[in-house]
């Protein structure tokens, strides 16, 4: 496990010991310092102690089906206690109403089980970059694709060095796609990555935001980087 004193601290709240170990080992290998909690009650205690020691967690990965304090209640209690760290909820529940409900309670992202570890890592990186935290194992947080450059920490986007003003959701879409330029993103995946901002309503709003992005990018001639994969979603192509 390659972690340093300044590694981002991740609280992994999961009552399945085997899954908890897999997640902690995987993220630990990517340079994150993971602390497991196996119940909602234990998670609250660890979060409280971390705050008292001035070593707060940078991110929480939270299962919903927990003994003690259930995940839905835990999200609210962590927020009420003043924890501002992003919370990525993991659950087998896949209904839009479940996801939206958790996001409104204070969750930052929602990942449906079973999930791919690489996708979990990408979502962790997106959340921490949005707070100005660098990804420990990936070097510079600045993202580049073709003539684009995106600085997540400064929330700045430029084409050929010329700044382009984006909405929060537009910025989130580009940050997610530039983090994984070879991936085809479904509308649902993009919705989940930027949910909690302007795209909280429905997945189809993502298509509207992509259309607005293309309009802003058209004068630079780079709007074609955003390609539609019919019946699936969107991808980047230079």
State the residue for tokens 């309503």. 201
Strand 143-145, strand 109-112: pairing: unpaired
Q: Are residues 13 and 118 in the same domain?
A: yes
117 with 206, same domain: the answer is no
Last-in-domain residue among 85, 102, 130: 130
**Structure tokens of 193?**
């990555």
The pTM assigned to this predicted structure is 0.56
Structural domains counted in the chain: 2
Long-range contacts of 199-206 (CB under 8 A, 24+ apart): 199/169, 199/172, 200/100, 200/103, 200/104, 202/96, 203/96, 206/173
- Both 156 and 208 in one domain: the answer is yes
Q: Tens of pLDDT along the chain (238 residues)?
A: 444 456 789 999 999 999 999 999 989 888 889 999 999 999 999 988 887 777 789 999 999 888 888 888 888 888 777 677 888 999 888 777 777 777 777 788 888 888 888 889 888 888 887 555 544 444 346 889 999 999 887 778 999 999 998 887 788 889 889 988 878 888 877 877 765 444 344 556 788 889 999 999 999 999 999 999 888 889 999 8
């Amino acid at each position: 496990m390659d972690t340093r004193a300044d590694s981002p601290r991740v609280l992994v709240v999961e009552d399945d010991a085997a899954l908890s170990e897999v997640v902690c080992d995987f993220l630990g290998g990517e340079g994150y310092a993971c602390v497991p909690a196996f119940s909602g009650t234990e998670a609250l205690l660890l979060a409280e102690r971390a705050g008292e020691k001035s070593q707060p967690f940078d991110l929480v990965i939270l299962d919903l089906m927990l003994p003690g304090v259930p995940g839905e209640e835990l999200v609210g209690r962590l927020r009420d206690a003043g924890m501002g760290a992003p919370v990525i909820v993991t659950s087998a529940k896949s209904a839009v109403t479940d996801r939206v409900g958790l996001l409104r309670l204070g969750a930052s992202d929602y990942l449906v089980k079973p999930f791919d570890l690489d996708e979990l890592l990408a979502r962790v990186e997106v959340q921490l970059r949005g707070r100005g935290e660098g990804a420990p194992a990936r070097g510079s947080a600045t993202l580049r694709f073709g003539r684009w450059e995106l600085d997540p920490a400064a929330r700045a986007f430029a084409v050929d060095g010329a700044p382009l003003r984006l909405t929060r959701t537009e910025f989130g879409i580009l940050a997610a796609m530039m983090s994984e330029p070879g991936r085809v993103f479904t509308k649902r995946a993009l919705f989940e990555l930027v949910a909690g901002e302007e795209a909280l309503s429905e997945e189809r709003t993502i298509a509207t935001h992509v259309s607005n992005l293309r309009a802003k990018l058209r004068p630079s001639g780079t709007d074609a980087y955003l390609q539609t994969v019919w019946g699936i979603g969107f991808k980047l192509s230079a």
